[in-house]
Amino acid sequence: MITNDGQFIRQKVMEHNKWFEECIPMIASENLMSPLAKEILISDFADRYAEGLPGKRYYQGNIYVDEVEIRATELAKKLFESEFADVRPISGTVANMAVLFAFANPGDTITTCALAQGAHISTCEFGAFGQRAVRSVNYPFNVQDMNLDVDGTIKLLKKERPKIAQFGLSVFLFPPPIRELADTFSEIDCLVWEDCAHVLGLVAGGQFQKPFEDGVNIVSSSTHKTFPGPNHGIILGSNLTEEEEKKIQKAVFPGVTSSHHLHSMAALAMTLAEMQVFAKDYAVQTCRNARVLGESLYELGVPVLCPDLGFTRSHAIALDVSAFGGGKECAQLLEDANIICNKNMLPSDTSSVRPSGLRFGAQEMTRIGMKEDDMKMVAELVARVVRKKEDPKKVKEDVKAFKKGFTTIKYCFNEGEEAYRYHKLVE
């Protein structure tokens, strides 16, 4: 017999599932796993434990876990053209912590972007960088291009001579100019680290950049944003010494993890296998959708950053809605209309609570089959709420009707009507 508490919890999860079936999902840090990956996520792997590396476990019972983890590592190296991969971090921030533990000591200098420039909170004083007590110095930023000022960054790197030059953003519109900085990295002899959490799926599809060709040594990432896997993490590397690879492995375990959530590691393995086949088509369509969404909103009078640069080269666009009440108000009005996004700081902002911006991502909409013409419809629905200030309840009904046309997860092994089981598995 299920208790009242149990009934309540289950009911709320079902209500959430139903709600998102009727919503337009535009959180840039979310995505949908395939049915096969989700099936693995709720397998017996979820109830088991492993510590260490395959073949060197501290627990018995890992015969098949080892085989899956070895295959996941091989698939990751192949997909991302890397020489090293560790699939054990349980999140992107945990992956960042492992890199910090492996290569940075308290007091070391690391150069990175500022939060208002779109950086992730783990690079801030109140995040993982602060917890490691490193000295974080921010790059000069070109607001018009939403990217680093190359000349200023070269001067900063030569002045500070950081132990690590770190790159990566949560508002990741354009590839960082890492290739242009390569000579400076060599001159000051620093490690180059990029957090690709937001663009990992685009990197897999060859549509954003090739970090290791650009000169990156280490890539850290979550695996559930443009990369449509589980909530998990990964560390990739190239041009590392054997000692440096071992430092990463030791930092992951026993440094920042014990057991590494075997069910999500296995779901990541399945997603890596699927992306060997589907990554390019998925990434191409995601980037096309993001650009059309930005262009359509701009034409409808909703300010989108970087119009002269085509708005974006990634899955994300950034909107300045200060003239329409600001990010907090607009995000809430859009949620009331079943359009799910988030408020976001822009470079001119000083408050993360009441920022002037919104951040939209096209990756999940792409995952359920939306294409360029659908982005135009999404833009119209957004503009009705944000610019025209229509009643969100009225727009909500149109959103629900529109969303009925998108009931199948695409770009996965078992694409078809059965692939809409992503909301049904827990029922």
Nearest to 75 by CA among 23, 27, 37: 37
pTM above the 0.85 mark?
Answer: yes
Question: Closest Cα partner for 343 from 365, 325, 363?
Answer: 325
Taking CA atoms, 242 is separated from 31, 79, 86, 237, 393, in Å, by 34, 21, 14, 11, 58
What are the domain boundaries of the chain? Answer: 37-272, 277-423
pLDDT in tens, the chain (427 residues): 899 999 999 999 999 999 999 999 999 999 999 999 999 999 999 999 999 999 999 999 999 999 999 999 999 999 999 999 999 999 999 999 999 999 999 999 999 998 878 788 777 777 778 788 899 999 999 999 999 999 999 999 999 999 999 999 989 999 999 999 999 999 999 999 999 999 999 999 999 999 999 999 999 999 999 999 999 999 999 999 999 999 999 999 999 999 999 999 999 999 999 999 999 999 999 999 999 999 999 999 999 999 999 999 999 999 999 999 999 999 999 999 999 999 999 988 888 889 999 999 999 999 999 999 999 999 999 999 999 999 999 999 999 999 999 999 999 997 644 444 444 443 3
| Nearest Cα residue to 317 out of 287, 360, 283, 348 | 360
d(CA 271, CA 264): 10
Examine domains 37-272 and 277-423 and report if their fold is the same.
Answer: no
Q: Contact, 363 vs 225, CB < 8 A?
A: yes
Q: Which of 103, 106, 166 is nearest to 139 (CA)?
A: 166
Query: What CATH number is given for 277-423 in this structure?
Result: 3.90.1150.10
Q: Which of 172, 181, 37 has its CA nearest to residue 92?
A: 172
For the domain spanning 37-272, the CATH number is 3.40.640.10
